[in-house]
Amino acid sequence: MHPTSAPTWHALHITVPPHAAEAVEFALNELDCLGTEIDHLRKSGDDSVRVSGYFNERLSDEAVDNALEYALAVYGHDGGAVIGKEWNVIGQTDWLAEWKKHWKPTAVGRFVISPPWEKTNGEFVIKIEPNMAFGTGTHDTTRLCLDAIDRLYRPDESFFDVGTGTGILSIAAAMMAQRANTAPAITACDNDTDSVAIARENFELNGVSGFVRLYEGTLDASSPAAEFVCANLTLDVIEPLLPLLLEKAGRMLLLSGILAEQEPQIRKALEQNGITDVDIAYSGEWISVVVGR
């Protein structure tokens, strides 16, 4: 939910050792939280960290425990990694104040993701408003995709961002096209109404609204083909879409939202579609997969 739509949220704070933070964030996302943050600041390597997830309503202890147990097992951690759990109710003002204290610009290649209140220099500065639904877009998977776009996208190529979220990847492509003085067809879609609204706001904030066609929905047979297609989703969503993603991608397909331990699974799925030559990059627990056509 967009932060202007409700005055308060329920925050679940889970304290774990640093090595288990990614697993807890994964669990919170599996519980359909509105956003997450990890308090790494002022922590030494051995200190515990607090992973927070935000929800419209408080979840049952059973649902939380089941999600944590599954996620920790997926990441190879013991269930005893959870040091503490705490719920509290927060207001919009409190949450925004916390973001302003902790969120600083993040550089990825020639791109810099920055909150609007920061004066940031860089070749391509992407301004993103904080919001409860989708965070800042500085997750490992987003960084992997931005790095691939920076290296591989040709700014005169058509571009299709499947599951755009905050719109960061489409903004990156549009900025590159603007700089090159080209006007390729750039399309973004998401099947979540709030996501589409937030992406539209971010397109306007970054001056690329005229460069991107945005629609609510998912990939289907009527979706446009593009020379460069990206899908930063999750493997369970990517797998059934894979034949269509490959069909729509003219020169290159970029996939992310895939855990490193799921690499054999995505390789097998691609092989079943006749693809054996892929470029895989790693960041933390996550990977991106580039398929050249």
The whole-angstrom distance between residue 153's C-alpha and the CA centroid of its chain comes to: 19
Distance CA 112, CA 172 (A): 10
CA dihedral angle for residue 196, residue 202, residue 203, residue 208, rounded to 10 degrees: -170
Domains of the chain listed by start with CATH number: 3-100 (3.30.70.260), 104-292 (3.40.50.150)
48 close to 16: Cβ distance less than 8 angstroms: yes
- 25-54 residue pLDDT tens: 889 988 988 778 777 544 444 578 889 888
Say which residues have a Cβ less than 8 Å from residue 163's Cβ, sequence separation at least 6.
Answer: 189, 190, 191, 218, 231, 232, 233, 237
Residues in the chain: 293
- Triad 105, 230, 266: Cα angle to 5°: 110
Q: Record the tokens describing residue 17, joined without a space.
A: 């050792």
pLDDT tens, position by position, 104-150: 788 899 999 988 888 888 899 999 876 654 556 667 899 999 999 99
> Can you tell me the distance from the alpha carbon of 99 to that of 108, in angstroms, rounded to the nearest whole number?
20
Question: What's the confidence (pLDDT) of residue 42?
Answer: 41
Name the helix (H) or strand (E) containing 259: strand 249-259
Closest CA relative to residue 289, chosen from 274, 264, 272: 264
- What is the 8-class DSSP label of residue 261? G
Instruction: Give me 189's structure tokens.
Output: 């879609």
Residues 206, 194: Cα–Cα separation, whole Å = 18
pLDDT recorded at residue 8: 78
Closest CA to 132 of 59, 216, 198, 185: 198
Q: What pLDDT is recorded for position 131? A: 62
| d(C-alpha 15, C-alpha 80), whole Å | 11
**What b/e sequence results for 81-98 when a residue is b if at least 16 CB atoms lie within 10 Å of its CB, and e otherwise?**
bbeeeeeeeeeeeebeee
Backbone angles phi, psi at 101, to 5 degrees: -75, -35
Strand, coil or helix: 11 = strand
pLDDT value of residue 2: 40
Sequence-distant (≥ 6) Cβ neighbours of residue 239 within 8 angstroms = 265, 266, 269
Which of 267, 230, 260 is CA-nearest to residue 246? 230
Tens digit of pLDDT at every position of the chain (293 positions): 344 444 678 889 999 998 898 889 889 988 988 778 777 544 444 578 889 888 888 999 999 999 999 999 888 888 789 999 999 887 766 666 666 666 678 889 999 998 888 888 889 999 987 665 455 666 789 999 999 999 999 999 999 999 998 899 999 999 999 999 999 999 999 998 888 998 999 999 999 999 999 999 999 999 999 999 999 998 999 999 999 999 999 999 999 999 999 999 999 999 999 999 999 999 988 999 999 97
pLDDT at 278: 96
pTM of the model: 0.76
Q: Which residues contact 33 (CB under 8 A, 6 or more apart)?
A: 12, 53, 54, 55
